[in-house]
Structure 1
Amino acid sequence: MQDSEAAILDRPEILQILFHPRKAPDTPPPAGAMDLDVGAEDGVNLGCRFYLASKDQPHLLFFHGNGEIAADYDPVGPVYNDHGLSLLAADYRGYGKSTGSPTVSAMLSDAHLVLDAVARWMKENGRTGPLWIMGRSLGSAPALELAASRPGAMAGIVIESGFAHTVSLLQHLGMDARALGIGESVVFSNAEKIAKYKGPALIVHARFDHIIPLSHGQDLYEKCPSETKALEIVENANHNDIMIRAGLDYFRVIRDFIRKADNG
């Protein structure tokens, strides 16, 4: 998505629906984790928190949901590590320890800065494990922005509770997008982006997601042209309890798909 296209969504009435930023406490990362700051050209600082497994194991660059911050994953990061995965969580502007204010256009352009910074950090620190991109809910947008425009920079993608279509999502959230002149022909949807991505793709979605209906996850799966793809539906789960309902299977599914794709 070009900045001019993304900027169509940078309206106050839309931003207040899409973004619910909150700050992180000024405390150090927990044992086994580290923070990385990524500077943007306009002086904004983007905060990231890394939960690290072994250097040769897979890395997940993770874009979280709109009501979350990277520090929320302090209890979860070690579970990823126990499953042989490093979790590299990035905060949007205004979230966690990041400065600035969130917009759709900034979220997408910042994703490229974070990817570049993570790639440099991995090279400088001898992190030889493959780099995967993961997006949850709102985070599916920056994840698929990178998948569509820079597929060679990643080993694969994981999309959890992601949305496929901008207009239907806004309408589901109570915004009359078409009355504002916003259509899928104006704003590229995630479905159009994943249709450009041929690498390994895992789609995870809750059966009873009330915020982003299962049909979005199914559309992402169907649109993806990859020969290595899977759709994992978590039964008896909703948008905000999908990890709890799935339990350790949540991490096993991600680990096993990545192992199979990396070894395939």
Structure 2
Amino acid sequence: MKNYSKLDQPERLQLIFNPRRCPITPLPKGAIDVHIEVAPDVIIGCRFYIHTPESPNILFFHGNGETVPDYDDIGPLYNHAGMNLLVTDFRGYSWSNGTPTVSSMLSDAEVLFTEIQNWLQFNKYSGKLFLMGRSLGSVPAIDLATRHENDIKGLIIESGIADTIPLAKSLGIPVDDVDFSETDGFGNIEKIATVKTATFIFHGARDEMIAADEAEKLQSFSGARTKEFIVIPGATHNTMITTGGRLYFETIKKFIDKVTGVTNWRRRRKTTNTYSAE
């Protein structure tokens, strides 16, 4: 694993992460909780919002100021659009224990991916698996995609990080006058360049935390053979869903359908039915 020691300094971690603790909350209808031990005595809480066992599965890593139960109103909207959504926390968030660091976020993500993949198979959730990361969550999502291209069908990045230094400045992390360069950062640019699996990147045009040109940079460096890029007019960092509305979910589902061949299958079925009717 890359050395993240300069990001893992306490004064930087307190600005990178913003953990909010809460007890386990009541489950929304159709959701279940999944708890994964990522290290001895460290349990990460996840919540699975279910459409059907055959629906595509999205393993979702949220932003630094969000928690699993923040998605209790959002998960059902993914379900309504025909997708299963599995949201995972970082250490110290919601009812997950431990203290978050950049290094642990990435090592935990590796364990989470393997355990959740096995859990989905054991419980017969047969839909294709996609990785999705929003904001800080783009870091573990992209990192996982570099090693698990044979296990996933696609990568989805919302409001993602390209270079680390612009984000550090937005968060108030001093980097100008200290021994810190882009090579000490998350490494999203060099990592996404190696990811060949289908990739969808979307961003808010008025994002005040991570500028839209950072998304353009991710898009330009992406090594994906199939890739899509959308900027949502008027959307800020935290208003992607409220600004995009129903189209937010439909656009994600359209990408998933395209990658999994559902659109082609529907077209073939329609053609066959028309021919038979004649």
CA contact (8 A) 1:24 1:71 kept: no
| Aligned pairs for 1:1-264 within 5 A | 1-2=1-2, 5-263=3-261
Structure 2: segments with no counterpart, 5+ residues: 265-278
User: Structure 2: which amino acid aligns with 1:177?
Assistant: V
How many Å separate the matches in 1 of 2:76 and 2:246?
Answer: 12
Map Cα deviations across residues 82-104 of structure 1 (whole Å, 9 max, x no partner).
11100000000000111011111
Map Cα deviations across residues 210-235 of structure 1 (whole Å, 9 max, x no partner).
00000111111110121211111110
User: Structure 2: which amino acid aligns with 1:51?
Assistant: Y
How many Å separate the matches in 2 of 1:21 and 1:188?
Answer: 19
Secondary structure, counterpart of 2:185 in structure 1: coil
Q: What count of residue pairs does the alignment treat as equivalent?
A: 262
Cα shift at 1:178: 4.6
Cα shift at 1:26: 3.1
Cα shift at 1:39: 0.4
Map Cα deviations across residues 54-85 of structure 1 (whole Å, 9 max, x no partner).
11110000000111101111111111011110
Cα shift at 1:172: 3.0
User: Structure 2: which amino acid aligns with 1:209?
Assistant: D
- Name the TM-score, length of structure 1 as normaliser: 0.95
CA RMSD of aligned residues (A): 1.3
How many Å separate the matches in 2 of 1:72 and 1:187?
Answer: 28
How many Å separate the matches in 1 of 2:38 and 2:116?
Answer: 14
Overall identity of the aligned pairs, in %: 41
Return the index of the structure with the highest Cα Rg: 2
How many Å separate the matches in 2 of 1:223 and 1:191?
Answer: 6
How many Å separate the matches in 2 of 1:27 and 1:61?
Answer: 20
Cα shift at 1:239: 0.3
How many Å separate the matches in 2 of 1:125 and 1:6?
Answer: 35
Structure 1: segments with no counterpart, 5+ residues: none
Q: 1:8 to 1:153 in 2, by over 3 A?
A: farther
Cα shift at 1:42: 2.8
How many Å separate the matches in 1 of 2:119 and 2:109?
Answer: 15
How many Å separate the matches in 2 of 1:68 and 1:96?
Answer: 9
User: Structure 1: which amino acid aligns with 2:163?
Assistant: H
Cα shift at 1:152: 1.8
Secondary structure, counterpart of 2:59 in structure 1: strand
Cα shift at 1:197: 0.2
